[in-house]
């Protein structure tokens, strides 16, 4: 294809893309609500009966309404009646209408109604949300949930007169105190122009690529793209942005993390009477109303007013901080520096976040650099929105994830990249890393079994190999048990979690809701039944949530990436695991079996820990398991897809020398083949650019939805 033809095609592609993007409607995202009346103390309204209309009035906060979420109860029955949701303006004109069946409603879960087109209301104007059923009866109806303590407008039931449903709303028969438990979604734009601008940019890039394709691929074949530097260039700015745009202590349990970090910075670890500054507790409380309630917002002014609040370390209150210490050391360094400078608790928090981010990013940088294969799989996992969000926080998950990745990289380096025999120094490095993991989170200590990936010949005799492995385990285990005993002695005054009377109603009044000893007895009584329970819990009940929270559930578990973006990200990781290959790395059946065994053991340990310490006795599933618990072990899962067949074929297919290779004589082909795989790697480089661009887009979108979740922008 000559240059003139390429230019014509490129211009046509540009014009076509501009026309398509301009014509196609792109609705604004409905990932975070404009307002919310969610509550844990909801009550159940009467059902949706034939001949009645339930109306919730509310004032919109944006020009357009783009959707609502409601919560319904089946009342313990199987309901199959048909229902209708309508949105009316103050002149009782129908703006939107959607029919839905009770069969599709999940008990107590948010039911989403997303409008095909945003409905213009006008900021500050009132709108009527109506629910009714044409065949609902006492024995066959669903009931909306009510928040009795939060009113966003009048809530009432009207009697239907004739066929004029809108006019019937005026015939009010009874009113309710409070409002529906509802999320409303709004926007100030008819369409999502930020996305359209991005698509226009992609159209320009695509047309430019077509016009200058020959120059582009020739240049690409010559350059070298280093994944560790790509990671560094993206991770530092993005995780820094997350550190500052996420309001104070809006990462799960970040308040507890802050108290532990402060305890370390005070060198107060071995004081049995655990106390923390009241000022930190007040900072946590000041933003506590944002937790889980996705409609709650804050402002920059509200945050910055805490800059002048003094620490006042002498004013203290009893606390019960986490028992771990090692994963809090990076944050503690930042907090210690802030304390020396006399900074406020808010500044202490931000410096703690930044030091946590910097140290974790550096560890991940070297993990990607030293691992002989899986560099881009590591990069994709390290650049997940969830990972960078945790890096820009006080959470101990940040250091645990980075240390796990680095430990995996070290074992693979010694197994596949290091040609010399291993010395005592190398063994000490491996033992030290495994010990650190043990002190961060014990389940990930199992990564030490990657020791058996290292060929026996690198240690000399077989007995020496076995004795070294046993010695590493015994020493690390002994140090861990000693440290645990010491921490337990100084654990201090634990506090009892406060629970509502409703939660206690099913149990004896003299027993706590969470009873680890009872859970352990249940496990021992029926081990096969318990294993079936955790498999069903992880792979049936909470499969979708674990996957979503693995990639991108941010904030206090209430900032959600669109499902399509989550799925696309996971597919890209899977694809990269399938197609990247290094001739020096071989993972046979035995090694992949070990990887699978480590993953299964980790899954059982994580599920068991949450079953014992976060699940009430008698439940048929495990509560509290989140996707972030599996990020440290995630590289092992994607290594299962490693193969040596796809990558060479794809690089030859995309090569500049493809025709030359096909036409070459049999004796010459191997040399050309090796040069394509070693020097050119055009397919790999195309994929490198795709991965980089996709990660940047996903992270920018994650920043955007975090901003609109917490701030009125």
Answer whether residue 470 shows pLDDT above 70: no
* H/E run at residue 477: helix 462-489
Q: Are 217 and 346 in contact (CB under 8 A)?
A: no
Query: Rounded mean pLDDT of 297-319?
Result: 90
Question: pLDDT tens-digit profile of 533-583?
Answer: 999 998 988 888 899 999 989 988 888 888 889 999 999 999 999 999 888
- Rg of the chain over Cα atoms, rounded to whole angstroms, equals 29
Please give the C-alpha separations between residue 73 and each of 108, 174, 180, 502, 622, in angstroms, as whole numbers.
6, 21, 13, 18, 22
Q: Which residue blocks in 266-396 are alpha helix, DSSP H?
A: 278-286, 300-304, 329-340, 345-370, 375-382, 385-391
Query: Rounded mean pLDDT of 471-489?
Result: 54
- Please work out, in degrees rounded to the nearest 5, the angle formed at the alpha carbon of residue 225 by the alpha carbons of 224 and 230: 155
Structure tokens at 445: 């200590």
pLDDT score recorded for residue 593:
93
CATH label, 35-187, candidates 1.10.287, 1.10.620, 3.30.70, 2.60.120: 2.60.120
pLDDT score recorded for residue 463:
52
**Angle between helix 3-23 and helix 193-211 axes, rounded to 10 deg:** 170
pLDDT score recorded for residue 155:
94
Q: Which residue blocks in 615-681 are alpha helix, DSSP H?
A: 634-639, 646-653, 658-663, 669-675
pLDDT score recorded for residue 264:
93
The mean-pLDDT minimum among 238-247, 351-360, 569-578, 605-614 falls in 605-614
Question: pLDDT tens-digit profile of 32-55?
Answer: 788 888 887 889 998 899 989 999
Q: What are phi and psi of 128, to 5 degrees?
A: -110, 125
50 DSSP 8-state letter: B
Q: Are 258 and 394 in contact (CB under 8 A)?
A: yes
What's this model's pTM, rounded to 2 decimal places?
A: 0.83
pLDDT score recorded for residue 414:
92
CA–CA separation, 325 vs 596, rounded Å?
30
CA–CA separation, 385 vs 554, rounded Å?
8
pLDDT score recorded for residue 542:
86
Q: Are 81 and 141 in contact (CB under 8 A)?
A: yes
Answer whether residue 308 shows pLDDT above 80: yes
CA–CA separation, 394 vs 259, rounded Å?
10
- Please work out, in degrees rounded to the nearest 5, the angle formed at the alpha carbon of residue 442 by the alpha carbons of 441 and 444: 80
pLDDT score recorded for residue 365:
97
- Strand segments, DSSP code E, in 265-312 are 275-277
Q: Where are the domains of the chain?
A: 1-26+193-211, 35-187
The DSSP bridge partners found for residue 110 are 71
Q: Are 330 and 360 in contact (CB under 8 A)?
A: yes
Burial of 231 (0-12, 13-18, 19+ CB in 10 A): buried
Averaged confidence pLDDT in the chain: 86
Structure tokens at 496: 């009892």
Question: pLDDT tens-digit profile of 72-103?
Answer: 999 888 899 999 999 999 888 999 999 999 99
Nearest to 499 by CA among 40, 11, 71: 40
Question: pLDDT tens-digit profile of 585-609?
Answer: 888 899 999 999 999 999 998 999 8
Nearest to 632 by CA among 438, 473, 417: 438
pLDDT score recorded for residue 180:
93
Q: Are 34 and 61 in contact (CB under 8 A)?
A: yes
Within 13 Å, how many C-alpha atoms sit on residue 66's CB side? 22
Q: What are phi and psi of 98, to 5 degrees?
A: -145, 130
CA–CA separation, 676 vs 534, rounded Å?
48
Please give the C-alpha separations between residue 232 and each of 247, 366, 382, 631, 668, in angstroms, as whole numbers.
24, 10, 10, 19, 40
Residue 47 neighbours by CB under 8 Å, 6+ apart: 75, 133, 136, 138, 141, 142, 143
């Amino acid at each position: 294809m000559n240059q003139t033809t390429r230019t014509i095609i490129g211009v046509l592609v540009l014009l076509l893309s501009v026309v398509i993007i301009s014509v196609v409607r792109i609705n604004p995202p409905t990932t975070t609500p404009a307002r919310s009346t969610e509550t844990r103390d909801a009550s159940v309204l009467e059902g949706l009966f034939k001949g009645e209309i339930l109306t919730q009035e509310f004032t919109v906060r944006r020009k357009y309404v783009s959707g609502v979420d409601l919560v319904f109860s089946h009342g313990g029955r199987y309901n199959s009646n048909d229902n209708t949701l309508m949105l009316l303006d103050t002149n009782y004109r129908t703006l939107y209408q959607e029919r839905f069946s009770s069969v599709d409603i999940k008990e107590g879960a948010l039911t989403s109604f997303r409008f095909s087109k945003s409905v213009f209301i006008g900021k500050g104007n009132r709108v009527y949300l109506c629910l009714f059923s044409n065949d609902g009866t006492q024995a066959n109806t669903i009931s909306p949930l009510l928040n009795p303590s939060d009113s966003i407008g009048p809530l009432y039931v009207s009697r239907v007169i004739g066929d004029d449903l809108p006019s019937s709303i005026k015939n009010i028969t009874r009113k309710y105190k409070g409002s529906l438990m509802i999320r409303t979604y709004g926007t100030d734009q008819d369409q999502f122009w930020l996305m359209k601008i991005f698509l226009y940019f992609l159209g320009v890039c695509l047309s430019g690529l077509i016009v200058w394709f020959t120059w582009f691929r020739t240049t690409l074949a010559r350059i070298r793209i280093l994944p560790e530097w790509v990671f560094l260039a993206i991770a530092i700015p993005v995780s820094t942005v997350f550190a500052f745009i996420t309001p104070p202590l809006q990462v799960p349990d970040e308040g507890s993390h802050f108290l532990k970090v402060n305890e370390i910075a005070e060198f107060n670890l071995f004081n049995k009477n655990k106390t923390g500054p009241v000022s930190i507790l007040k900072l946590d409380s000041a933003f506590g109303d944002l937790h889980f309630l996705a409609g709650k917002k804050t402002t920059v002014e509200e945050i910055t007013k805490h800059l002048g609040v003094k620490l006042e370390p002498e004013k203290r209150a009893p606390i019960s901080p986490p028992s771990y210490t090692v994963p809090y050391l990076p944050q503690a360094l930042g907090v210690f520096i802030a304390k020396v400078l006399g900074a406020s608790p808010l500044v202490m928090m931000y410096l703690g976040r930044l030091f946590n981010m910097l140290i974790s990013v550096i560890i991940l940088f070297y993990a990607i650099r030293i691992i002989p294969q899986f560099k881009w799989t590591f990069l994709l996992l390290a650049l997940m929105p969830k990972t960078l969000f945790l890096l820009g926080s006080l959470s101990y998950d940040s250091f645990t994830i980075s240390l796990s990745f680095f430990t995996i990289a070290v074992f693979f380096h010694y197994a596949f990249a290091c040609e010399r025999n291993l010395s005592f120094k190398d063994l000490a490095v491996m033992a030290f890393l495994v010990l650190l993991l043990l002190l961060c989170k014990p389940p990930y200590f199992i990564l030490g079994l990657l020791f058996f990936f290292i060929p026996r010949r690198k240690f000399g005799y077989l007995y020496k190999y076995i004795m070294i492995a046993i010695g590493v385990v015994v020493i690390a285990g002994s140090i861990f048990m000693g440290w645990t005993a010491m921490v337990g002695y100084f654990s201090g005054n634990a506090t009892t979690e406060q629970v509502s009377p409703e939660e206690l109603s099913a149990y004896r009044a003299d027993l706590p809701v969470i009873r680890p000893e009872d859970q352990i007895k249940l496990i021992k009584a029926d081990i096969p039944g318990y294993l079936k329970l955790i498999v069903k819990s992880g792979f049936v009940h909470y499969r979708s949530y674990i996957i979503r929270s693995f990639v991108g559930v941010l904030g206090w578990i209430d900032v959600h990436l669109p499902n399509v973006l989550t799925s696309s990200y996971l597919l890209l990781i899977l694809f990269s695991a399938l197609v990247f290959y290094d001739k020096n790395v071989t993972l046979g059946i035995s090694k992949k079996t070990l990887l699978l065994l480590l993953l299964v053991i980790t899954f059982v340990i994580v599920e068991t820990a949450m079953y014992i310490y976060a699940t009430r006795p008698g439940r048929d599933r495990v509560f509290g398991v989140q996707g972030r618990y599996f990020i440290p072990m995630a590289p092992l899962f994607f290594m299962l897809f490693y193969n040596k067949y796809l990558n060479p074929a794809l690089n030859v297919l995309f090569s500049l020398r493809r025709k030359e290779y096909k036409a070459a004589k049999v004796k010459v082909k191997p040399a050309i083949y090796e040069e394509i795989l070693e020097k050119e790697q055009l397919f790999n480089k195309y994929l490198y650019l795709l991965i980089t661009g996709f990660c940047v887009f996903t992270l920018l979108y994650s920043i955007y939805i975090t901003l609109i979740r917490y701030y009125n922008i």
